[in-house]
Every structure is written in C-alpha cells, then in structure tokens.
C-alpha cells in the first residue's frame, strides 16, 4: 500500500480494547426549551461499549472516521465492511481509489458517508490533492465528492461534476479551509448535506457545522446562506427525530454548545436539547429513517466509533431512548442496551466487485505524512 492510499472503511463509539459500560450518567434538559418540554427534567443515560470485531489495529492500515450505517437486506454496511449483527465485521477491501495524478483527489480519499436514494447508493467522500500541506500559509484545502453505484458493493463511478462542494474562497468564511464529514438526510423532498467547515488558518477547536441542499442526490448542492448553523462540533453526527433534526456536538465549541444534543425543528435553528456526559469519538450511527422523509425518526440506538487517538480500534456502542412522538414531552428517558435487529436469515456474501485488498506492509514502511482534522 502506498503511504497515503486509503481504503474507505468506517468504524463504532468509545475507546477500549474490552467492553466498557457506564451507567447512571445524568443529562439535564435545557430549561430554555418551550414550556411543553419542561417536565423532562432528568434523563438517564448508559452506554455499553464493546470492540467491533475484526476492525482492530492493523499494520499498514489507517482507519479514519466511520460512515453512518445502513442495512441492505440481511447485512449492515459501514464503508467498507459488512456485518450480520453489528458486532462482528468483515472488511471488503477498497471501495474507492484515489484520483489520478494532478487531480483534486490524488493524495487521499477519506471520511466516507452514504446516501440511499432513487434506487442507487451515493458514496460521499472528502479528498485532497498533492502536495498535501497541513500547516503554514499554503495549507491544502479539502473538497467533497460523490461516487454512485447500483449496489452497496460497487463498482463505484465518480461523478464528472466532482468535487460537488468546495471550501470557500473568502478567508473570512467559516469553511474557507476545510469542508468535510458529509452527513445526508432526506427532508421535504430535498437532499440535505450537513458538513463541517473550518476557517482559513484556524484551529480544529473552531470547527462549525454548515448545510448545503440539493434537489437531486447528485446536486448541485447549494450552501445555506446563513451558514454556519452551529457554533461548535467536529465530527458531523445528525439524524431525524420526529419532525426535526438532532445534532450531537462533541468537545469543540463554546460552553453550552459543546458536549450537547442540539435540536432544530426546521433542521437549521439548533438549540440545546440536553447536556452530554459521554461523547462519541468520530462516530457513525445507524439511522433507519435518515432517507425516508417520514418524520418518524427516533433517538439513535447503536453505531460505531473510532476507539481514540492512541488506540485506533473500532468499537460498537449500544444505547436506546424511548421518547414520545414530539421532542421533550416525555417525563423520563432511559437509555438501555439493545442489539441491532438480527437478520431474518444468514446468507453467503459474494466477493465484492472492483475492490482491491490492502496488502500487509511492515510498520516501518508505512509513513503517513498527513493528518486532517
């Protein structure tokens, strides 16, 4: 494997080589929510964290942020690995190759996410050209592209219109250096792409979340004119909840924004819903209502995260909440362990098409000269 080649695979939530359970964490509901939500004073939270089998550390492989998870027939997909139960995974090789010499994606393709629409699969990804520079006055900007397939197993065809989202040319804009972490939701018959942006020559702690909307899956995606829509966040983790959208904001952002769940009934005007005591690390979640437009979305129940900065192991997390149809009206919210829905029957998975395997290379040969945040 060349030093910067990337296979797009995703990983599930929290650091740990072994199972870790935390119970009894308290979430306090924001008192500024409308009166109808004030009865939700305290919510109980517990996580169950277990390793995602077969997605552990591996010489010669850099696993970056996971995609969200979809279910196709009897298989769960996270790019690019499959599982029958969400716990034990089988990697399927390379999903998408880097671009040719002098292209906008020559250096690396990474942080994938998936959209299912119009009986096709749309793989969104971030990429950078060569030479990649991550500091100083000539920092390399990122951009977002799309590849499409009739099957979740490929082959994938990159759109000729790529990249479909670029960093702003105005250095004062929140996304003038980084656009990354595309996360898709179908809403009001349109395709809402939430993404993270970072201003030119600013730090990861000043990352914000933006929105771009398209009439068709392939775009064009038009940035919302009042971006950014949150004042914090690093990884983009959003999902439909009732008539609105919930965003999980991690450790970046001002007090009152970081380490919270934020809710926006219009998908744009986010306000704090709850404080969080434990935060997912670069998580991909299972969001069964993300592409249905049903207005019946619920709290996420499980997903995958990167284990942490020092131990690049993928972990499976489980949680569940039992809210009422409208946000915040319930008087008590309990998170408990629940496995993903088991498949109806097991069936043999055919070898993936057009996906190259990654050779095992001694660690001394593998040198990564980039780290994109």
pLDDT tens digit sequence for 323-349: 322 222 222 222 223 345 544 433 333
Within 13 A of 148's CA, how many CA atoms are on the CB side? 13
Please state which of the ranges 54-58, 65-69, 130-134, 361-365 shows the lowest mean pLDDT. 361-365
**What are the sequence ranges of the domains in the chain?**
20-340
Task: Answer whether 0.75 is exceeded by the pTM.
Answer: yes
pLDDT tens-digit readout, 53-106: 888 777 777 677 889 999 999 999 999 999 999 999 999 989 999 999 999 999
Asked if residue 226 has pLDDT above 80, the reply is yes
For range 314-322, the mean pLDDT? 53
Q: Pick from 154, 178, 180, 182: which is nearest to 168 by CA?
A: 178
Which fold does the domain 20-340 belong to in CATH?
Tachylectin-2; Chain A (2.115.10)
Residue 357 Cα to chain centre, angstroms = 24
Alpha carbon distances (Å) from 210 to 80, 103, 181, 185: 26, 25, 10, 13
Neighbour tally for 31: CB within 10 Å: 9
Q: Which of 13, 127, 18 is nearest to 78 (CA)?
A: 13
Contact 359, 370 (CB under 8 A): no
CA distance 48 to 289: 23
């Amino acid at each position: 494997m060349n030093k910067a080649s990337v296979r797009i695979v995703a990983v599930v939530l929290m650091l740990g080589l072994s199972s870790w359970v935390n119970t009894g964490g308290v979430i306090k509901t924001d008192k500024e929510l409308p009166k109808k939500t004030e009865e939700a004073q305290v919510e109980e939270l517990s996580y169950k964290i277990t390793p995602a089998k077969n997605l552990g550390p591996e010489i010669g492989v850099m696993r970056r942020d996971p995609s969200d998870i979809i279910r196709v027939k009897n298989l769960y997909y996270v790019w690019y690995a499959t599982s029958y139960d969400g716990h034990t995974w089988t990697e399927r090789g390379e999903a998408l190759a880097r671009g040719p010499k002098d292209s906008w994606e020559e250096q690396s393709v990474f942080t994938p996410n998936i959209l299912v629409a119009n009986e096709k699969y749309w793989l969104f990804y971030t990429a950078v050209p060569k030479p990649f520079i991550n500091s100083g006055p000539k920092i390399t900007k990122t951009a977002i592209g799309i590849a499409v397939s009739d099957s979740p197993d490929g082959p994938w065809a990159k759109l000729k219109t790529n990249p479909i989202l670029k960093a702003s040319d105005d250095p004062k804009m929140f996304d003038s250096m980084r656009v990354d972490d595309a996360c898709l939701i179908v809403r009001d018959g349109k395709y809402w792409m939430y993404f993270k942006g970072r201003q030119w020559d600013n730090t990861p702690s000043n990352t914000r979340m933006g929105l771009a909307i398209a009439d068709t899956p392939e775009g064009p995606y038009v940035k919302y004119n009042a971006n950014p829509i949150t004042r914090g966040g690093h990884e983009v983790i959003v999902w439909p909840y009732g008539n609105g959208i919930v965003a999980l904001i991690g450790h970046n952002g001002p007090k009152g924004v970081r380490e919270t769940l934020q809710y926006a009934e219009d998908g744009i005007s986010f306000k704090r819903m709850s404080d969080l005591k434990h935060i997912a690390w670069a998580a991909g979640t299972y969001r069964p209502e993300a592409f249905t437009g049903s207005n019946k979305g619920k709290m996420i129940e499980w997903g995958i995260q990167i284990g942490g900065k020092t131990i690049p192991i993928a972990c499976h997390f489980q949680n569940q909440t039992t809210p009422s149809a409208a946000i915040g009206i319930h008087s008590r919210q309990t998170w408990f362990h629940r496995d993903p829905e088991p498949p109806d029957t097991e069936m043999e998975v055919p070898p993936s098409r057009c996906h190259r395997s990654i050779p095992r290379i001694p660690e001394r040969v593998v040198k990564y000269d980039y780290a994109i945040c």
